Structure 1
C-alpha cells in the first residue's frame, strides 16, 4: 500500500473513531446512568433538598389540596398561604425525603416501561404520598377540616406522551450501542494509528478530534437543556425542571470534560514529543558537522 493510500485510510479511521467517541459516551450514559435504577435513585436523591424543586412540590401539593377544600372567597388567600407554608415546611423533613425517593423510584420504573415497551401516556410523579403526610401535619397543627382533605393523586409530568415515541426509538438505539460504540471507537483509533505513515501525527489528530467531539457533545447537552425548558407542559416550573435536567446529565457532562481533557493531553503530548524529536535530530546533525569542521582545521594546521 502506498504512503498516500495509507494516509487516506488512517485519516478515515481516525475521523470515524472521533465521531463514535461522543456517541459512545452518550449511549453508555443512557444505559448505565439513566437505565440503571440504583444510579438514577442516587442522582435524584439530592434534589429533595433543592430549593426550586421543593417550591415546585409545594406549589403542586398546595394546588391539589386547594382544589378539594372549599372555603369562603375571603379565606382562600390565608388558607392557601397556610397550606403552602405547611407543605414547604414538610419538604425539609426526613419523611419528605423518603416520600420523594419512593415517588422517583416509581416514576423511573414507569419511564423505563414506557421507553422499553409500547405503553402510551405521560410519565408522571405521583404526589399522593406527600399529600397524605401534609394532611397529617395540618391535622396536628389543628387546621379546621384538615382530616376531611381527600388525598388525590396529584401528578407532576416528567415526560409528555407526545415525546415518548421519538425518545423510545432513540433509547433502543443507545441501549444496543452502549457497548459496541466505545469498543469500535477504540479499535478504529488503534487501527488508524497503526496504518498511518506518521504515527505521531495520527496520535495528534486523534487527540484533537476527541477534544472536538467532546466539545460538540457539551454543546448538544446545553442545546438540549434549552429545548427541554422551552417545551415544558403547562404548570411545570422551569427552574425545577432545569435542576432535574442538570442532575440527570451531570455524569454525561463529566464524561465530556474527561474526554476533552484526554484529547487535549494526548494532542499536547504528541506535539511536544515531535518538537523534542526534531530538536534531538537537529542536535545529532550538528555534531558530525562540528566534527568535520574540527578535522578540517587540524589538517590545515
Structure 2
C-alpha cells in the first residue's frame, strides 16, 4: 500500500477513535452509571448527609405541611419555625436516610421506565410511582406520602400541637415532564445500545490506525493528544451542562441542592474524563520521549568515528 494512502487511512482511523472516546465514556456512564439502579442509589445515598440538600428538603416539607395545617396569623410564624426545625432535626435521623433511599429508588425506577418506554400503571404505597397518560407522552411522578408520614410521626414525638391531624395524602410529585421525557427517550436508548460498543470501537480504531501508520511513533503521539483533547472537551461539556441545568430550574428550587445532586450524578463521568486526559497526555509524552531517545541514538551513531583500517601486509 502506498505511504500516502497508509498515512491518510491512519489519520482517519485515529481521528474517529479520538472522537468516539468521549462519546464512549458518555454512553458507558449513561448505561452503567445512571441506568443501573444500584450505582445510582450508591451515588445519591451520600446526599442524605449534605447540608444543602437537607435544608432544601426541610423547607419543602415544612411548606407542604403548613399548607395543610391552617394556623392563624399570630401563630403562623412560630408554628412554621417549629415545623421547619422539627423537619430539619428529622433529616439527621436514620429514618430520613431510609426515606431518602426509598424516594430515590422510586424516582429512578419511574424515570428509567419512562426513558426505556416500558408500560405500567400508577402505583401507590411507599415510593409509589406512576405514569399518567399514554406511553409516549406522560408525566413521570412519585408519591412522597411515606416521607410526610414519617415527618408527622417525628412531629408527634416532639409534642407539636395538632401533629396527629396533619393530613397525609397521596400527592403525585412530577420528577420528569412528558416533553422532557420525549426529548430524552431516543437519546438515552441510543446511549444504552452504544454503552459497550462505542468504547470497544474506539480502541479497535485507534489500534488499527497505529498499525496502519507509516510512522507508528507519530501515530501514537497523535492518538494520545487526540484522546486528551476529547477528554478535555467532555469535561467542559459536563461543566456547561451543570450551568445550563441550574439556570433552567424553576423558582423555589434550591440551586445549591440541585448542584450537589448534579455533581453526585456526574462524579463518575468527571473522573473518567480526567482519567482519559491523563492517559492521553501520558501516551503523548511517552511517544515524544522515545522519539528523542531514538534521535539521540541515531545522532551519536552518526558522529562516532569510523574504526581505522588495518594495513594489509604485502605478501612475500
Q: Answer whether TM exceeds 0.5 for this pair.
A: yes
Number of the residue aligned with 1:25? 25
Match for residue 219 of structure 2? 202
The aligned residue for residue 164 of structure 2 is 147
Q: How far apart, CA to CA, are the structure 2 residues paired with 1:125 and 1:53?
A: 18
TM-score by length of 1: 0.93
TM-score between the two structures when normalised by the length of structure 2: 0.89
Q: 1:64-103 alignment to 2 at 5 Å?
A: 64-103=64-103
Q: Which residue of 252, 256, 259 corresponds with 2:276?
A: 259
Aligned counterparts of 1:227 and 1:124: Cα–Cα separation in 2? 23
TM superposition shift of 1:155: 6.0
Structure 2 residue aligned with 1:277: 294
| 2:156 pairs with 1:135 | no
Instruction: Out of 189-198 and 145-154, give the one that drifted further.
Output: 145-154
CA distance in 2, matches of 1:244, 1:155: 21
Contact 1:125 1:156 in 2 (8 A): yes
Partner residue of 2:306 out of 288, 291, 294: 291
Partner in structure 2 of residue 189 of structure 1: 206
CA gap of 1:238–1:161, structure 2 versus 1, over 3 A, is: farther
- Whether 1:165 aligns to 2:182 is yes
The residue aligned with 2:265 is 248
SS at match of 2:221: helix
Conserved 8 A contact 1:60-1:156: no
Residue range with higher mean Cα deviation, 148-157 or 85-94: 148-157
Structure 2, unaligned runs of 5 or more: 118-134, 312-316
The structure that is helix-richer by fraction is 1
The 5 A counterparts of 1:107-118 are 107-117=107-117, 118=135
* 1:222-246 superposed Cα distances (whole Å, 9 cap, x missing partner): 1111111111133321111111110
Q: Number of matched residues? A: 295
CA RMSD, Structure 1 to Structure 2 (Å): 1.8
Report how far residue 123 of structure 1 moved: 3.7
Matched, 1:180 2:197: yes
Tell me the distance in 2 between the aligned counterparts of 1:214 and 1:126: 39
Deviation for aligned residue 1:133: 1.3
Once residues 138 and 72 of structure 2 are traced to their aligned partners in structure 1, the CA distance between those partners, rounded to angstroms, is: 36
Consecutive unaligned residues in structure 1, runs of 5 or more: none
2-structure distance, mates of 1:95, 1:285: 77
Shift of residue 131, structure 1, vs aligned partner: 1.3
1:206 & 1:174 partners in 2: Cα distance? 24
Distance in 1 between residues matched to 2:59 and 2:143, nearest whole Å: 14
60 and 152 in structure 1: CA distance in 2 versus 1, 3 angstrom threshold: farther
Contact 2:58/2:84 (<8 A) preserved: yes
- Give the match for residue 56 of structure 2: 56
